[in-house]
Structure 1
């Protein structure tokens, strides 16, 4: 009897499950496990200076039987002098409404109630009565259903949820020791009749599968618990390594995040898989529902030889895109493959020819264009790079305007005969599909495309020996807009001065 309480005290101290001054909600079903837990924690609370609230839920499944359990738990808690809270929840009606399975529905409603009680009393922790036999069952269930190495860690000893910590002080104790404690302490507890119903998967594991397998390994439960301990430690280490990789390689961008495809491929395959799941988790996807095949689909899309542009919905409103050498993860409701930019979505009167200098912010493109009129060619009238263009100001059809791409756009390209489709130029220059609708196009009064910053300069209004005035135009892109480019040269890069544009992902 004393040994079990000492073991709980030792684990609590070693793992820092609570500290003096804490208020802890103890979930008490009325069975032997939770009854023993409440008794042990009550005895420890007097010496260690924390307070308790006993919380009981009647799920509405078993009528009179569960009503008697609620009365019994109340009497036990009151006899210990522990504050008591209870709730009768119509879980069958909730199941009818949601079509959830019974155990999942009961768990959801039960945990919601426990969190409400924690909030009411300002509790920092909720204590649950899972024990080592539960752990063994959980690990075996996951193996049978199919799981990842992380799933082998089973039930965690502690886990943060909704600003409180779920703790399981009995997780390393065997059921037999708990029953012995109840017997020695003469504790009255209830037996839930539903525990004998084999149509519940966990009951079938406990009553049939584990006993059958134990014939081949009498210490099977202990082995499964030991496996969970090893897997939990290794999973924790791998999680830490994955976060290091995330911080090093993943960049937040509008609507989501991105990673260089080659950087991801340089990682060990185990880190690739974990990184994908971590990204999806950070974007709000419940990764427990992310299948192995789903992760592999994303991972293989980054491989050499896979299509250079590709996208797939991964669920939860998240889409993964490969855009040449960038893998992007975006929220589909905020960011479509074409960045939610419809043809003609933005168009600006840009420059009428009178101003010596004018700066035009184009927030839809995450860019600013600076127009400078020079009376005579400077530096031979040459641009400083692909983010700058120069024109014979007197040969331009004014006013100039800035807009985004439209279907069928063509441009007379400097050095080529005839016109070329803008779409083809984007493909040739490996401009990401999600960026194509956003790039600013400079057009003249006749609608001819003069320049696509970082991509091509048109053939119109070239500088010549007879040029008297030069219009020099520079494009600056915000750092936040430096996504989807995948270009190692300087054609599209961020040299902006905090120009208004798309924001960082929330």
Structure 2
């Protein structure tokens, strides 16, 4: 059995070019059966290929004396094999308390950081992990339960470049039972991690409860999941290459933003549309774990929507999608839209504001019977004493220093501060219209607040009524 296992791993390393002759390889050894088996297999092959092995272990301090015993075990094992050994003693519980991170995520972050330090110290080309086929099946099931797209079904990659070092997993096609049997046949000692039996961890719940239950319906369920992963890996690789070609063809970089033409995007298959959006966001160095399906769809729908006006979608504080007619910009900073100003022609009855994607309708009221009842209970419209206005009126975007004297309050306040107090998105602040008179006096922040000027009263003879209409 041992010969078969070593031969299978050797063949996979050669086929996938996981390790080259003469490479320095850091092996992550926890002390459990999987990592100890990996160390023995790579040690067996190392003389043939001239590999230089370095043992690395992280004591996370999760399990007190048990964690210390595992660290001592790994040190002794490396000494018997006459291999250099690096021990990372990290107080992960303290780090969790400091950062409020998830326990397993915090441990992973610290573990990978230490392994990269070891790789850098020894000028290693690879870091080898003992993740196996059962781990892969668990990972895919966890993603299915939490919700995932096709890329999530790819599972853990056999190799991945990170910080100029290859992260490799030579055991991804080997099942746990083979590793345990390998250790038994060679009388190789290893440690038992008591936390593997704790159901407070999601992975343990999947391993101990979910997969055994599903195997009642299909004894080869883990194998089926891994076959799905292999198929999705190949299809995902093909689609990624197609997406990259589309990116090169229709996307351009301009002033720290990425631009595409709507017409080119609409011609793409929906699968490529979604992947292209994610690829662009990756180019902006935005973490994709922040973007769920709903957000990606909101971006896609903005691009596809039939409209010939400007629009800004603030996905979050680090991502803005700016639609300017047929051009679409992806950027990680708030858009600085061009200032706009339009004169209100009282002879007309409406005006469109493409920058804000709204329309204003207005009318003059001269009837004495109507004047007695005009008022507005919302910010969606405003009634103004026309005779108190300094004409002409204008609708424009906000300018630095703009102030409003709010109706019902004493004094004045900066328009900018009013927006901040209302927690108005930055992108919206730049487009919301202001109604001003010829002197620059702000009369109405459209859809938000009116001023105390030109109020309609008992002596009012002529009224200007303006109403906000959403397109």
What TM-score, normalized to structure 2? Answer: 0.72
| Aligned partners of 1:300 and 1:306 also within 8 Å | no
Q: 1:425 to 1:175 in 2, by over 3 A?
A: closer
Structure 2 Cα separation of the partners of residues 184 and 214 of structure 1: 28
Structure 2 Cα separation of the partners of residues 425 and 195 of structure 1: 59
1:288 paired to 2:265 = no
| Aligned partners of 1:285 and 1:316 also within 8 Å | no
Q: 1:76 to 1:307 in 2, by over 3 A?
A: farther
Residue 315 (structure 1) shift: 3.6
Structure 2 Cα separation of the partners of residues 148 and 313 of structure 1: 23
Residue 337 (structure 1) shift: 3.6
Which residue of 2 is the match for residue 113 of structure 1?
Answer: 114
**Mapping of residues 31-50 of structure 1, within 5 Å:** 31-50=32-51
Q: 1:120 to 1:286 in 2, by over 3 A?
A: same
What RMSD, in angstroms, separates the aligned Cα atoms of the two structures? 2.4
Flag structure 1 segments of 5+ consecutive residues without an equivalent. Answer: 340-404, 411-417, 429-506
Flag structure 2 segments of 5+ consecutive residues without an equivalent. Answer: 358-471
Structure 1 Cα separation of the partners of residues 43 and 90 of structure 2: 27
State the Cα deviation string for residues 277-334 of structure 1 (Å, max 9, x = none).
Answer: 00001100111331000110011112243573222223461211111111110121xx
Structure 1 Cα separation of the partners of residues 254 and 261 of structure 2: 13
Structure 1 Cα separation of the partners of residues 195 and 353 of structure 2: 66
1:214 paired to 2:215 = yes
Structure 1 Cα separation of the partners of residues 97 and 74 of structure 2: 28
Q: SS of the residue aligned with 2:304?
A: coil
Structure 2 Cα separation of the partners of residues 56 and 425 of structure 1: 60
Which residue of 2 is the match for residue 251 of structure 1?
Answer: 252
Structure 2 Cα separation of the partners of residues 8 and 27 of structure 1: 17
1:92 paired to 2:96 = no
Q: 1:426 to 1:86 in 2, by over 3 A?
A: closer
State the Cα deviation string for residues 417-472 of structure 1 (Å, max 9, x = none).
Answer: x9xxxx979999xxxxxxxxxxxxxxxxxxxxxxxxxxxxxxxxxxxxxxxxxxxx
Structure 2 Cα separation of the partners of residues 41 and 240 of structure 1: 33
Structure 2 Cα separation of the partners of residues 236 and 289 of structure 1: 23
Q: 1:189 to 1:215 in 2, by over 3 A?
A: same
**Mapping of residues 193-272 of structure 1, within 5 Å:** 193-272=194-273
**Mapping of residues 269-418 of structure 1, within 5 Å:** 269-305=270-306, 308-315=309-316, 317-332=318-333, 335-338=334-337, 408=341
State the Cα deviation string for residues 158-207 of structure 1 (Å, max 9, x = none).
Answer: 00111111000001100000001111111110010000000100000000
Which residue of 2 is the match for residue 76 of structure 1?
Answer: 77
Q: 1:310 to 1:185 in 2, by over 3 A?
A: same
Structure 2 Cα separation of the partners of residues 261 and 103 of structure 1: 42
| Aligned partners of 2:59 and 2:67 also within 8 Å | yes
1:169 paired to 2:170 = yes
Structure 2 Cα separation of the partners of residues 165 and 134 of structure 1: 20
Which residue of 2 is the match for residue 14 of structure 1?
Answer: 15
Q: 1:72 to 1:209 in 2, by over 3 A?
A: same
Structure 2 Cα separation of the partners of residues 114 and 425 of structure 1: 54
Structure 2 Cα separation of the partners of residues 38 and 242 of structure 1: 39
State the Cα deviation string for residues 40-77 of structure 1 (Å, max 9, x = none).
Answer: 11111111111111000000100100100000011111
| Aligned partners of 1:309 and 1:324 also within 8 Å | yes
| Aligned partners of 1:301 and 1:307 also within 8 Å | no
Q: SS of the residue aligned with 1:302?
A: helix
Q: SS of the residue aligned with 1:143?
A: helix
The number of residue pairs the alignment matches comes to 354
